[in-house]
Homo-oligomer: A and B are copies of this chain.
């Protein structure tokens, strides 16, 4: 019973986190200050505080509890999300400051910085979804720091060289996070976990906790897509909020619809509902600055829900068997494909507004570049991270301890509280 052979975290996690915190705090001491009071009074940065809190809730309660669905891995799902977020956010504040707001040797932070950092942490949590249960916390921390670095670099390249709008660049987080995670999972593939690990299952209890997490994501997704749109563009903000809401509603209906149709006995799969309901938020998010009529948002949401549920039903098992890529939370179906769908919707909407075929052609090439660049960077860095993590020095969990909290948590069956 006692997992006495599970590798202790003692030799890896503490020195790594201590070192990271020392570096982070030193860098904050040298470079980071709070926003200038004069600026705050002009454009009150607390304006977006409520929306920041929504995003905060999505990251910790949403992603955290969506990751509790595995029957014996709930503590790790929620706990490691908290740990990874805590570190990723500090790193994202620094990187974002250095790349985008560095001025006279200082980074000045406000609610905007914290919100941006939370969105970047979310992209790391998406990657984490692909390898959940097969990695230890030290792996996840390395992955999160590299993913955030790569994502920031991608944003910077898109904004600097391709002149992509900041909001469009940051919304690629779904695509970047998903393919980064998938590539990493492909590199880390273990035949020992096949055909299926007995602990890779869900039950009524963890299914309900995961539903709660999914509902947090659902509810606050309008804030996720609109938080970075300033108060000076109120109509854009309102459109982003309403479009996301309507899109979520239709993708939910699509998830129920496709789940029943593709089920041999005409039943609904809760995993589909938890995940595909959110696909509308992802797709509209990526297309957010192009969508300005409600029905378009609804069509995007419906398509995303259909694609995502089909992905869960048919693609996920094939990915595993054919491509040797195991995707624990199905990030390909929730973020990967709906993200590309959103990118395509953005393209169609914008292209339909262009005056002539030359303009369309130019825009096609340009828009294709943004996607290919993001895909290339995420796949490349994901592979690299996978190779780095595969190194035995990080003491990966044995196959039989995968998807099991007992590998990392003090856990007599009924733990006495002390």
Chain A residues engaging chain B, CB cutoff 8 angstroms: 4, 7-11, 13-14, 17-18, 20-21, 24-26, 28-29, 32-35, 37, 40-41, 44-46, 49-51, 53-54, 56-57, 60-61, 64-65, 68-71, 74-75, 78-79, 82-83, 85-87, 89-90, 109-111, 114, 137, 196, 200-205, 207-209, 211-212, 215-216, 218-220, 222-223, 231, 234-235, 237-239, 241-242, 245-246, 248-250, 252-254, 256-257, 260-261, 263, 265-271, 273, 277, 292-295, 298-299, 302, 312-313, 316-317, 328, 405, 408-411, 413-418
Query: What is the chain B residue whose CB lies nearest that of A76?
Result: B268
Q: Which of A82, A246, A250 has the most CB of B within 10 A?
A: A82
Choice from B34, B196, B317, B416 contacting A201 with Cβ under 8 Å: B416
Cβ of A202: which chain B residues have Cβ within 8 Å of it? 414-415, 417
Q: Is the interface of A mostly helix, strand, loop or mixed?
A: helix
Cβ of A34: which chain B residues have Cβ within 8 Å of it? 235, 238-239, 242, 292-294
Complex formed: what's the CA distance from A241 to B112 in Å? 12
CB pair B294–A414 under 8 Å, yes or no, is no
Cβ of A235: which chain B residues have Cβ within 8 Å of it? 34-35, 37, 40-41
CB pair A40–B294 under 8 Å, yes or no, is no
CB distance from A278 to the nearest CB of B (A): 11
Q: Which of A28, A137, A237 has the most CB of B within 10 A?
A: A28
Q: Which of A41, A270, A405 has the most CB of B within 10 A?
A: A270
Q: A9-B266, A10-B266 are in contact. Are A86 and B253 (CB under 8 A)?
A: yes
